[in-house]
A and B are shown apart, each in its own frame.
Chain A
Amino acid sequence: MAYLDLKNVTKSYSGVDVVHDFNLEIDKGSLVSFLGPSGCGKTTTLRMIAGFTKLDEGTILLDGEDITAVSPNCRDIGMVFQAYALFPNMTVRRNIAFGLLMKKMPKKESEKRVAHVLEMVRLQDAAERYPHQLSGGQQQRIALARALAVQPRVLLLDEPLSALDAEVRVVLRGEIRRIQSELAITTVYVTHDQEEALSISDKVVVMNRGVIEQIGTPEEIYRTPQTHFVATFIGTANQFFGKVSGGDAVICDHFTLLADDVKDFTDGQRVVVLVRPETIHVEPDQPKHDGWNIIPGEVETITFHGAVTRLGVNLHGQRVAADITVANTKPISLNQKIWLLFPPAACQVMAVDERS
């Protein structure tokens, strides 16, 4: 049975559902992230779990207990905020001990606990400092330590790294993941940074306009997106619009694409075919490869990204991205006529989501 269970959770502001019929089961000890564009309802959902926002409909169960009506200070759910929210009038030590004080924990035990979490976030030396004497990254570590000190049943983090610079962000997200798995604490992590979500989560919940688009492991989300929105939101995907023809092809304006998973669609249905740049091969001469898609185009842009080089290729007026690596491609120059080559398995066919 799921440890944290959201059933039919709905919330609306002035008549508009910002979270709609949200159903999610979270296993004990796992890290689940909410990923989605700004305004899709991530924070609202998180705040309903924390108890700061009331539900319009639905229930939230924690360890089998209905906590929908329990006030936030009695839920035993820890929270880390985007703006750190350390208490400015208290030293780091007193900040961390605050939750223990509320629990009336004996002083000896409390001191031990504080020392332990400080060690966990590697800031033992900062105990007597005030929050304004710490850097942003250090403050967020303390906020994490403070939330963990009371050993909450669930830990919630709302874009905890978005106020920090890129380098600190990468280090700290690794630390969060390390500590989370060490303690095996059930965690919900809100972010709009897909790299962050994909790199630290057990499961990713992709949200759009208040509904769940897909729940899956980072790999599932990236490799087998279930909806048009997920496919375009995660990573880069080339989109070709067309109509289904037969059991294995999609007819686009200027060419026909062979694809594997067309069977679920009816003949003539309007669909979109998504192809990731890294699945496309680029050939200077016309290749021979039966059963693959082979389309001619002209190189318009070349952008060096380090490990790969991304080409912008003009395909009958449509710009298509294709990644090449130095190891497996001959040199390519601007305005060169080239051929794009990709297997039917690289084509994901989906119903068109007009909003994406």
Chain B
Amino acid sequence: MKNPQKPLRETNKKVRPAGWQIVAVALFLFYMLLPIVSTYIFSVATRWDRTILPEGYTLEFYIRAFQTSYFIITLRNSLILSAATILVSLIVIVPTVYWVHTRLTGFKPLLDVLMILPFGIPTVVLALALVQVYNVPPLARSPILLIGAVVVYSMPFMYRPVSNAMQAIDALTLTEAGQSLGANVFQVLSKIIIPNILPGILSGSLLVFSTVFAEYTLTSLIVGAKFKTFPLLLVEYTRINGNIAAAFSVVSFTIAWLVSILILWVGTKGQNGATETIQAR
């Protein structure tokens, strides 16, 4: 517990940030937000190469973007890819992390190291290697292979939050408490372990979603035009029409935001205070 006097002092004597601190923060925000803001403006600008601000504004590029024949298909493919990756990732990671924290505790350091490896392999190398090794139909250059590749590539993003959440609960004792009350392994996982690591599962899913939704290299090298995703379409349009590409980017941002909010909303609805409990520790 905090000393009750401390917050009081903090509210009474507001510390004013020094001038240079304000400048530093402003510069940082400018640096982070400038590309996003200019993309938004560019997507509604008529002409923007001779003046500081655009000469006029129009929604024409959005209309043309939505009318693109591939718009819906690529969007759908991207969502399928992200959702499938999250699903496979959860099915692989959650039980593994659980067993490593309860029965096979000796393997945890090994798994921790294994889960850094995907960061060390350049995506181009990973993609080309997979294409070569799995050069057998029906796997060869199929969306299934792509999902497999993307699962590996995004695995650390799922592993870390789930593992940290599992660390925060005493998984073994909770399991034994459940078993002594008559629960089998599946009931222990679904009713005790998963609800208690839900915050970790949610942040892992979010990270995986945003990674996979914007994935370009693996998709273009493994499946290419056969299973076109939204990033592929976007890159294609940067060569055709920059304004339409900007409109696509804005759509992409917006969807990422919406899905994040959706996942968080589903999470907080479904768990009822579990986050609060974890935070209270």
Using a CB–CB distance below 8 Å, which chain A residues touch chain B? 50-52, 71-74, 76-79, 81, 83, 85-89, 98-99, 102-103, 130-132, 143, 146-147, 150, 152, 156
Binds A, one of B21-29, B56-64, B181-189, B237-245: B181-189
Using a CB–CB distance below 8 Å, which chain B residues touch chain A? 169-170, 173-174, 176-184, 187, 191-192, 195-196, 271-274, 276-278, 280-281
Q: How far is the CB of A51 from chain B (nearest CB, A)?
A: 8
Contact of B169 among A72, A79, A88, A132 (CB under 8 A): A88
A355 and B122 alpha carbons, distance in the complex (Å): 62
A81 and B274 alpha carbons, distance in the complex (Å): 21
Q: How far is the CB of B108 from chain A (nearest CB, A)?
A: 20
User: Are B180 and A87 in contact, CB atoms less than 8 angstroms apart?
Assistant: no
A83 and B177 alpha carbons, distance in the complex (Å): 11
21 residue pairs of the A-B complex, CB under 8 angstroms, read: A50-B176, A72-B180, A73-B184, A74-B182, A81-B173, A85-B174, A85-B177, A87-B177, A87-B178, A88-B281, A89-B192, A89-B272, A89-B277, A98-B178, A98-B183, A102-B183, A103-B182, A132-B281, A147-B180, A150-B182, A156-B180
User: Are B173 and A83 in contact, CB atoms less than 8 angstroms apart?
Assistant: yes
Which 9 pairs of residues, A with B, have the shortest CB-CB distance?
A: A99-B181, A102-B182, A85-B177, A79-B180, A88-B277, A89-B274, A89-B195, A132-B280, A72-B179
Q: Which residues of the other chain, A, contact B177 by a CB distance below 8 angstroms?
A: 79, 81, 85-87, 143
Contact of A89 among B179, B183, B273 (CB under 8 A): B273
Contact of A87 among B174, B272, B280, B281 (CB under 8 A): B174
Contact of A72 among B170, B176, B276 (CB under 8 A): B176
User: Are A85 and B182 in contact, CB atoms less than 8 angstroms apart?
Assistant: no
Q: How far is the CB of B273 from chain A (nearest CB, A)?
A: 6
User: Are A73 and B179 in contact, CB atoms less than 8 angstroms apart?
Assistant: yes
Q: Which residues of the other chain, B, contact A77 by a CB distance below 8 angstroms?
A: 180
User: Are A146 and B277 in contact, CB atoms less than 8 angstroms apart?
Assistant: no
A sample of 5 more A-B contacts (CB under 8 A), given A71-B179, A85-B170, A98-B191, is A51-B179, A85-B174, A87-B174, A88-B277, A156-B180
Q: How far is the CB of B261 from chain A (nearest CB, A)?
A: 23
Q: Which residues of the other chain, A, contact B178 by a CB distance below 8 angstroms?
A: 73, 87, 98
Q: Which residues of the other chain, B, contact A88 by a CB distance below 8 angstroms?
A: 169, 196, 274, 277-278, 281
